[in-house]
Amino acid sequence: MTAPPLPREVGRAFDVLPAPIGKRLLQVRALIFATAAAHDDVGRLTETLKWGEPAYLTGETGSGSTIRLGRLKGSDHAAILFNCRTTLVDTFRERFPDQFEYRQTRALLLPVSGALPKRELTVCLSLALTYHLDRRSER
């Protein structure tokens, strides 16, 4: 599965980022779509803007928590942002304590150079895209 064409307004949001961050986040975008396609329960993703940043929602199934792509003030890393009311970032930190840099309970930071840690990142994206499914099964 390849990522669909970028919606115009989402493309503009990537364009205003510093080039190295935008390029890294476009790699993450492709991984989000590939990860979603690997899960039958996720359904089609909605790609939109939230707070002016590219955001990925599981609107069709409600299976997951929103994933946003951007940057944090004062950081030269690419940021993958999650709902701070979830346990996602804490779970990522437990599973991959040394693989990523984190900010509180809301962000996973990626350096803009070097290889994208696809295996670990796929696990994190998978957990976000199926977050509510996992919660439902715990009830």
| Size of the chain, expressed as the number of residues it contains | 139
- Per-residue pLDDT at 41 exceeds 70: yes
Summarize the confidence of residues 43-53 as an average pLDDT: 96
d(C-alpha 139, C-alpha 135), whole Å: 7
Spatial CA neighbour of 22 closest among 71, 59, 56: 71
Task: Give strand ranges (E) for 51-129.
Answer: 53-57, 67-70, 78-82, 101-103, 107-110
Taking residues 29-56, what's their average pLDDT? Answer: 96
Band of the pLDDT at 83, cuts 50, 70, 90?
very high
For residues 2-12, give the mean pLDDT: 93
What's residue 139's pLDDT? 46
In this predicted structure, the answer to whether residue 117 has a pLDDT above a threshold of 70 is yes
Give the integer Cα–Cα distance in Å for 8 and 49. Answer: 11
pLDDT of 135: 62
Measure the CA–CA gap between 71 and 90, rounded to whole angstroms.
Answer: 19
**Where does the pLDDT of residue 38 fall: very low under 50, low under 70, confident under 90, or very high at 90 and above?**
very high
